[in-house]
Amino acid sequence: MSVKNTNTEHLKGDETVDETRGGPKFRPVLHALTSNPGVEMMNYAVGKHDMITLGQGEGDSPTPDFIASAAYKAMQEGHTGYGPTLGQVPLREALSEYYQRIYKLSIPTSRFFITASGSTAMHLSLAALLDKGDEVVAITPIWKNLLGAVELTQADTKQVSLDYSDEAGWTLDLEKLFGACSDKTKVILIVTPSNPTGWSASQEEMRAILEFARERGIWILADEVYGRLVYASAHEHLRADSFLDVAREDDLLLVVNSFSKSWAMTGWRLGWIVGPQAAEDKIRDVALYNNLCPPTFTQYGAIAALEEGEPFLKNQIDMWRSNRDLLVERFAGLGNVRMAYPEATFYGFFKVDGQPDCKELTKRFIDEAGVLLSPGCAFGETAKGYIRMCFAVSERRLVEALDRMEKVLKT
């Protein structure tokens, strides 16, 4: 009797995983997950002294007291048990009022689905839409966690990169995007404003994408987490264009958002989805078996953020705008750094002449400058060579980081 040799080893980053030598068995998809260079660099920097950390999308400011106080008050009032799977009714109502006030859109509460973080909102959306063998067309550069979330569904991903030029910055070629879609395409994944480039889709581009998707029955999954982090706007309130501005109520569109960035609530892990009415029951079905419901008392802090958070957000934007201009000026003075002028988000996404290996350059910034950044290869196939830097920090801290980095950039 012959025995088939099943001694299969899987490589993940620098790690070899042997599934047949007595260890626990996990799903093959977990062994096949691509490595995350951003996490690799964070691990590389662990234990190193006097590190300025600008590799994550998080600022210096703590959550405002009025938000924390609202959550504490909710705890004292007993809002500490299970809640509705798609969120507390008062928060869904507050979001409906927020979109009316800020976006001039009338969206019923039944189209808002509260989630335990923006990342969870993305996972729930993908889980509701994708099966093994489906295809996602993702506009890159894009946050690695989103690509990883697609991998977990066992769907296939096609990456369509934004184009870059020193004159025009980052731009989207719609024909290239549409040409990448096939009969297997189930979802177009787009982040606007873009983490990490700062590019934003225009309403004309959004209309074209929606029209294309409607004709083919393709879902649009739009990450609009940075929708309020813009430095100029044609709207009454400072905000980017949204797919919701141009979509129909029944469009195959899920818009993902989060409380993390606009109101300094990264650790609160609270987000939301805006979807068509027909998606409510399906998202609830997926969420029910994910975490049952979002944390209850934190949602009352989120209500305070929506209702009282505009002055705080304005102060944050003013600080980030000043930091952005400082960063642009400092990089321009060096002569060997290429970076588009960030119109949104709080990231500089740059490339250094003569430095094609972004991981090695990121390690040099850690070792020689004590500054942790994120390598561009974490953001897609065509982002190799770039580096992402978060400037949502105090001016003093940013200046110190740039002073340190110049020692590396000039050598």
pLDDT at 23: 74
Predicted model pTM:
0.92
Give SS3 for 310.
helix
Distances in whole angstroms, Cα of residue 235 to Cα of each of 39, 101, 208, 328: 37, 12, 21, 25
Distances in whole angstroms, Cα of residue 336 to Cα of each of 96, 288, 406, 411: 47, 51, 11, 11
Q: Which two tokens stand for residue 206?
A: 């959004």
For residue range 300-330, list pLDDT tens digits in order: 999 999 999 999 999 999 999 999 999 999 9
Distance CA 288, CA 127 (A): 12
Assign domain 65-309 to its CATH architecture.
Answer: 3-Layer(aba) Sandwich (3.40)
pLDDT at 1: 36
Helix (H) or strand (E) holding 11: strand 9-12
Handedness of CA 324, 328, 331, 333 (dihedral sign): negative
pLDDT at 217: 97
DSSP symbols for 374-387: EEGGGG-GGGTTEE
pLDDT at 31: 86
Q: Whose CA is closest to 194, among 167, 165, 171, 174?
A: 171
pLDDT at 124: 97
Q: Helices 395-409 & 310-334, crossing angle to 10 degrees?
A: 20
Low-confidence ranges of the chain (pLDDT < 50): 1-17
Residues forming CATH 3.40.640.10 domain(s) in the chain:
65-309
pLDDT at 25: 86
Distance CA 359, CA 345 (A): 23
Task: State how far Cα 127 lies from the chain centre.
Answer: 17
For residue range 260-269, list pLDDT tens digits in order: 999 999 999 9
Is domain 37-62+311-409 given the CATH code 3.90.1150.10 in the classification? yes
**Residue 88 CB coordination number (10 Å):** 22
